[in-house]
Amino acid sequence: MAQSLGPVGGPELLVALDRSEEMPLHEQLERSLRENIRRGRLPAGTRLPSTRGLAAEIGISRGVVTEAYGQLAAEGYLETRQGAAVRVARAVCTAVPRAPARSLLPTFPYHFHPGLPDLAGFPRDRWLRSLRATWRESPLDAVGYGDPRGVPRLREALAGYLGRVRGAAADPESMLVCTGFMQGFSLLCRWLASQGIDSIAVEDPGWHVHRLIAEQAGLRTIAVPVDDRGLCVAELAKTDATAVLVTPSHQFPTGSVLSRERRAALIEWAEEGDRLIIEDDFDAEFRYDRVAVGALQGLAPERVLYIGSASKRLAPGLRLGWLLLPSWLAWPLISSKAIEDGGSEVTGQLTLWDFIERGELDRHVRRMRLRYQQRRDTLLGALAKWLPEAHVGDEGAGLYELALLPEEIEEPALLAAAATRGVGLESLAWHRCTHNGPPGVLLGYGNLSEPAIEQGVRLLAEAFAEVC
């Protein structure tokens, strides 16, 4: 319990001692005094009671107080000198009170986040089964310093999966496991800059994070327009870019697929000029209108650097991604990864390996494909009912739809009006390098239930009517 102490020449203060606790009394006294000093209740220079006086005041032995004072003096909280009073050290800085930690990310009851899968659909029980199984069977050195490329068994399993499902030419020896797309692309951009390359071409519109990562690495971004057949390769050829980032199987944010003719033209552009294509294959397994489009990397593995991740397939919080590297880029990027963090943590890697080997990843993707298709149908029905002014494309894929709006709509005003109703949106303007084109919003349906999608669209329609 808290006891007041003080009269022996020292200040009045509260110290919490509980004789029923297992913690020794001297540690309880240390903790209480330390907390009082940190919070400023005992300012620097404050005189404390003598060991004899404090012991008598709270009914404990003098040795307990002596031990507590000695420990706090060793930590730098107290100043003790023979023949002088014990004082709070003058170098102690009082902790500044602060508000509880808050998330940097906004939250909304109806958040149409275009990049979130169904978090409630994450297969916790099956993932836990793989986690337990892999730790039971893993050798002792599994938790030692491993291959910076990633756990060999996972690279083998991923190579088989990506070859079978994405048509990729996946060589485990040239695969690099990382913490997701952002780390993989960042490693590449920094390496490009170190080689004297000053620019990289990106899609316009395209994911704004692509530009942020490239620019942070010191690269200038060159905007190349996208239409209903994907990246305009003829426009790319007019630039001086030696590298280009594309989302060929499901372009973000327009949803278009890079046509067969443009795929061939893009590879020809890369081969003729000794250039590099970076493929962001973020959600291509989720197609509802046709058979999934194969990875571009499978057509030219020495010209295409493929980046994939578990973020859309499973959950972004797993922080698992992978790069399929051209042979000539393998050593530079593997070295960069090794220097940056020595290799990604192994628990998630081993779990994913077992998850793939037991066929759980295939089963999960099939389950979620059906669920996302139903949610997309719900979204399209709700838009037709509540917001017929919005125009959506015919491509059925991924976890979001791009809704184009009438020219008179101001995107910032619409987003603000929607936010006041609890609806979170991303503006199409966020992802444009230029300001050409009609306004639009991205409507992610992956992490919203069907009733929430209906209600969210209804509230969005109210916001639309307010700003129209």
What residue ranges define each of the domains in the chain, with the CATH number in brackets? 2-88 (1.10.10.10), 132-358 (3.40.640.10), 363-467 (3.90.1150.10)
Q: What values do phi and psi take at 51, rounded to 5?
A: -60, -40
The structure tokens listed for 17 are 């001692």
pLDDT at 5: 43
Interval 341-399: pLDDT, tens: 999 999 999 999 999 999 999 999 999 999 999 999 999 999 999 999 999 988 889 99
Collapse the DSSP code of 307 into the 3-class scheme (helix H, G, I; strand E, B; otherwise coil) and give the result: strand
Residue type, 180: G
Query: What's the pLDDT score for residue 371?
Result: 97
Which pTM was predicted? 0.82
Average pLDDT score over residue span 300-328: 97
Averaged pLDDT score across all residues of the chain: 92
Higher pLDDT, 240 or 90: 240
| CB-based contacts of 361-368 (< 8 A; 24+ apart in sequence) | 361/161, 361/313, 361/314, 362/161, 362/165, 364/123, 364/126, 364/313, 364/314, 365/285, 365/286, 365/313, 367/121, 368/117, 368/118, 368/121, 368/286
Residue 1: is its pLDDT beyond 60?
A: no
423: which strand partners?
110
Q: Give the number of other Cβ atoms within 10 Å of residue 309's Cβ.
A: 25
User: pLDDT grade, residue 13 (50/70/90)?
Assistant: low
For residue 6, what pLDDT band results from cuts at 50, 70 and 90? very low
pLDDT at site 18: 77
Q: What are phi and psi of 178, to 5 degrees?
A: -135, -170
Contact 308, 317 (CB under 8 A): no
What pLDDT is attached to residue 356? Answer: 98
As a whole number of angstroms, the distance between CA 260 and CA 159 comes to 24
CA dist., res. 63 & res. 61, Å (int): 5
How do residues 385-434 score in pLDDT, each as one tens digit? Answer: 999 999 998 888 999 999 999 999 999 999 999 999 999 999 999 999 98
